[in-house]
Structure 1
Amino acid sequence: MGRLLLNLRHVPDDEADDVREMLEAHDIDYYETPPNRWGITVGGIWVRDRERMAEAKALMAEYQARRREQALAEREERRRAGELDTVGSFLRRQPLRVLAAIGATAFIVYLMLLPFFSLAGD
């Protein structure tokens, strides 16, 4: 029986493809389980050989460290170019959406506190 290497929940396709290629490049036998029909499980990548699991985990740690560094570098580049979203830029771009969200939140909080206000009036 295999051991789970990567749960595919919220994993982008390019990352899952990279992991498959990495395992194939190092001749680590793996299999993949598909997501189920009702969305309870989303599938995973499993290593068949328990003895190779430590090697697969080490490769995965190296891959994730490289991917993290790449993502941080891309984010820093976008920040320097002024392309990174901030609260102010989002507010300027979609003021009605922000005001609607604030209004909806205030209304929900009011409804939640309404029983306490009626108790104080009695």
Structure 2
Amino acid sequence: MPHHLMNLRHVPDDEAEEIRALFDEHEVRFYETPPSRWGISMGGFWVHDDDEAERARALLEEYQRQRMENQRRVYEARRASGETGGIWRMLRDKPVRTLAACLAIVVIAGLSLLPFIRIG
């Protein structure tokens, strides 16, 4: 029976490539199904054998732990250097785009709520 190891929906290309390389390096016999464009099928990495699934899950768990630590370090370094920020940074860097997005959100929310406001 096939074992689903990992969902590929919203997985960055570099992460998928690293996982493929990891499986090839450790000779994990896997196959891959791509996610659909419309989000109907999730796609993912699969194996057939129970023992192979356990080994692959252990490799994936270690890989994801290392990736999370690495991404956290990169984020903290960017945050410390001021390269990333919240809404205030977006407003400072791209004020017209940020205000246009906020205005669009207010208009859409207003149009969505208008039928309910008129009821009362």
TM-score with structure 2 length normalisation? 0.82
Q: What's the offset of the Cα at 1:53? A: 0.9
Is there any run of 5+ residues in structure 2 with no aligned partner, and where? none
Look up the match of 2:88. Answer: 88
Q: In structure 2, how many angstroms separate the alpha carbons of the residues matched to 1:81 and 1:70?
A: 17
Alignment of 1:23-102 (within 5 A): 23-36=23-36, 39-102=39-102
Is there any run of 5+ residues in structure 1 with no aligned partner, and where? none
Q: What's the offset of the Cα at 1:50? A: 1.7
Percent identity, please: 46
Larger radius of gyration: 1
SS of match in other structure, 2:46: strand
Q: What's the offset of the Cα at 1:40? A: 2.1
Residues 44-91 of structure 1 show CA distances to partners (whole Å, capped at 9, x for unaligned) of 111121222111111111000000000000011111211113321210
Look up the match of 1:111. Answer: 111
Q: How many residues align?
A: 120
Q: In structure 2, how many angstroms separate the alpha carbons of the residues matched to 1:38 and 1:101?
A: 25
Look up the match of 1:5. Answer: 5
